[in-house]
Structure 1
Amino acid sequence: MKSCQYKLLILFICIVGSQSVLAQVVDTLCVSDPTGDYHVDGWPGSTFEWIVPDGQITRGSGSDSISVTWNSTPGTYPISVVETSANGCIGDTQYAQVLIIDPPNLQISGPKRVCEGDTAQLTASGGIDYVWNTGDTGAVVTINPTTSQTYSVVSNTKCGNDATNYGITVKPKPVFSIEINGKKFICEGEQTQIVASGDATEYFWSSLGWGSRQKVTKNGTYEVTAYLDGCEAFDSVTVGECRNLIPYNTFTPDGDGINDKFEIDKIEYYPNALVEIYNRWGDVIYKSTGYSNPWDGTWNGTPLPVGAYYYVIDPKDERAEKISGYINLIRR
């Protein structure tokens, strides 16, 4: 009779790993008492290897709960743990950090003087969480003071509380104005003067240089920066392009459609211009506001004789000057 032999195969499947992962920062301690307790939930029968390079395990080495006394220098320190099951399976390393802090010793940095209307940033340091008297939170606050005032910040931590103040002086910006001292509209070859005046100590024109008074020979917009005790203000002035009237000196009202009327170049820019024409005896033979109906050499519908006639043209606009002269009427 044959006997049967059986072999029993026992298969172990490793399922191991801490059932709860350590958080990124698991503890915040004070330099005056840098001792903390740490725990992970593992499997029954497991052992735990804790790695604490900047501290000393004072209780529970090899277990799922330990106590550590840390380096008393403020900083962020790593802590990690590896679980090994009763069957010898090794889990993933779990990492975390411990923060060691001083009691808050607050300081505020930033400008001590701010120009009226400008913004500035104040930065708090020496704490962890910050609350400003403006209602803002965080280390950095943006301010826009209208008067000189004091800003304060507080920080409350498990290692103590602190508060500090910071005074800001608001300085006025320069007040000034710009005038054109001369022609407000210039033609090619002409010049005028622009002048900045006020309580500023210095003036800088972006295209002209330093000085309150500048001579300009081109039309355009000129920008100036005024300075007073570290504060600045800006303004600009525009010198316009002139459009001087150019009357023709001769016309031939003979009905051939060529040069039949007294033409004035650029008169279309001046709809309110007053045009008057006189004969040799001083009689007004033509008068018009605007020049939509140019003079055709007649007076009350009657053709006038050849000769020189005196005109006066007032553009009623500062872009051009009032002019006068003679127009020759010629008939062929």
Structure 2
Amino acid sequence: MSQIRVFLILILCCFCYKIRAQDISVNDTATPTDLIQNVLINSSCVDVESVNASGNPTPNQQSYGSFTAGSNFPFPSGIVLSTSPSKNAEGPFNQQGSKGTQVRTWNGDADLNTALGINNSTQATVLEFDFIALTNSISFNYIFASNEYQNNFPCIYSDGFAFLIKEAGSSDNYKNLAVLPNTTTAVSATTVHPKIETINGSGGEPLVGCEAINENYFNGYNTAASPINYAGQTVVMNASTDVIPNKKYHLKLVVADDVTRQYNSAVFIEAGSFVTKINFGEDRTVANSNPVCYGENFSLDTHLSATTYTFKWYKKDASNTYVEIPGALSPSYTVPSSGAYKVEATMNNTACVSVGEITVEFSAQIPSTNTSLLQCDDDTDGVTVFDLTKAANIVKNNDSQITNQGYYETLADAKAKTNPILNPQRYTNKSPNQIVFALLENTYGCNTTAEITLNVSNSVIPNQNPIETCDGDDTQDGLYQFDLSAEVTPQILSGLPAGLLINYFLTSADAITETNPLPNIFKNTTPNSQTIYARAANGPNCYDITPIELIVHTFDPPNFEDEARYLCKGDDMTLSVDSSFSSYMWSNGSTTNSIVINSPGDYSVTVKDANGCEKTKKFKIILSEPATITGADVKDFSGNDNTVEIQYTGAGNYEFSLDGKVYQDSSIFTQVTPGVYNAIARDKNGCGLSSSFLIYVLDYPRFFTPNGDGYNDLWVIKNIDQMPDFTISIFDRYGKLLKQMNQNGTGWNGIFNGREMPSDDYWFTLLFVNGKNVKGHFSLKR
């Protein structure tokens, strides 16, 4: 049982060793010369001298060294420069200890401060040397790693590093090679990181995040299984620069902590990646948006001497294998076709072989077509105004991927992109049949030219008859609208070639330059007669320009307003207008200047003058007739409030009278005095009188004086004898019946049973046979 336990422990130890073997291993005893000459540089084309290093002042804790790594780190071996002891770079990542080493006596680097624009670096590690390259460029690969890839630190600060180069012994400023591709931005935790969310710190305070910056260069955050002891790292980056062969340069590799001396960082440089090469620049490919232009002579130049080097040029074949190009032995080579090319330059009497590679693609030929523009000339001198942009799509064959880069008077100017025509939409040619040049460019900046010949049209549109219309609105001011396409264009196009397009302008100059085209529905701006200009075009070419006179006739006859008339029932009426018009059309179909009508309704006549202009007059015929009085509503026995309302029928417009002399519009009469009336209605439209209607308005006397003087001796209701049967009963104040009378009675004389009744108030009731009942009182005075 104990043997099994021992066996399992051995297996577990071996497994743990295998896991830990994936971490990097750092040798911090390697000398600076060994790091440069035996680790970093792997080229017989580089001579190195004056190697120096500096770093952590703490004994036995060197901050630079060499490393080896397992398969899960991008570099199998290389150099590490750190802001803490280099052994601390060994994995795995330990977050608890990530705050790092702080050495107060460990200073920063002035050259790094200058390169990065800072003034407070600390704990700098430097590895520097002089070198001479035998070719024209150098490069090496690196990774930046940092414990500052935690919390929101990259939003605020970062340790700094740089690869500084300049000519040895020069007082020039250093150039930093540790920058983002195609920029001068230094690589750091603040310039390369993913999006960082806002979180709460250990004390609950917000740690404000920030948006991602150059996230494509961030390799990711590390874990307890990572091979290095840093929180995060970049992808593999490349530092490169052109150099002058055989010139001595000084290269300073430096990394430093920020002022906090916390959360250390390191730079890992791949072993053997420092090489010299012949740099032809980036690949010239469609994918890189920089292919070689069609027809361009593209030469690959090593910039090396033919007396010092021998050269071999290669091109990849269909099997993706480089094959030597026969006879290509010069320092430069003109590329004849697309492909992958390589050169090997061997320095005479040495083992130095420099290599340069590049993939070259040629862009397709830019489609272009020479063309001509045909423009009209208003004074036949062969010089006119052209819109060169009309040829824009023609010269590039309507290819949307090609852009027009301007127009030029000479081919030399077009090729040099100098002296472009400043206003190609309004270009006045210098001579008949002049040629100008359009510069065309594809998406890769390649260009070509196309010729545009400027010709003047000799086509002629025949003289046009005026276009006439009538002023058809209510205001006869000689201004009216024309439908140019319907009223004018068909006349112009008659007899002309098919396919012409007509547009209209106020002036011939506007027609030449196609400025301010008129709308299709055009209202003249000059009364009665105005000349506009029609431009006939065939595509971009002008056929001819011709004037068109627009004439607006007015027609406003006098006394032609609409009328309303009254027609008496049973009569007829003549409707007429002036007899001097050219034609007449009545609503009933008659074509004379008058008609006879005998019924009410709506009639109209449309007349024309000599120009064919129309005017319509409307007649509204209203029926009228004498009224028929059907009765009267009489309110009497009311003193001053007596009223009479005449009741009638009829289609006319009436006025009314109670005496046949005084008429009023209302059929209601007020304050009518008692009496007998012959009411009558009169048609205001002259259609006659109604028959008279007899009306009685009655009232009783309010007192009487039976004193025998022959005046007002009887109490009697005037005209009551003309009314239907009735009975009058008279009472004293106590209700005693004193007198009763009917139609045959002559009135009451104030005597009851032979005795004169005293002065007093008396009451009466008047009861008609039709049920009408009137009550009242009166006074007897003696």
Question: Normalising by the residue count of structure 2, what TM-score does the alignment of the two structures yield?
Answer: 0.24
More strand by share: 1
Quick check: which has more Rg, 1 or 2? 2
Q: Which has the higher contact order (CA 8 A, sep 6+)?
A: 1
Structure whose residues are more often helix by fraction: 2
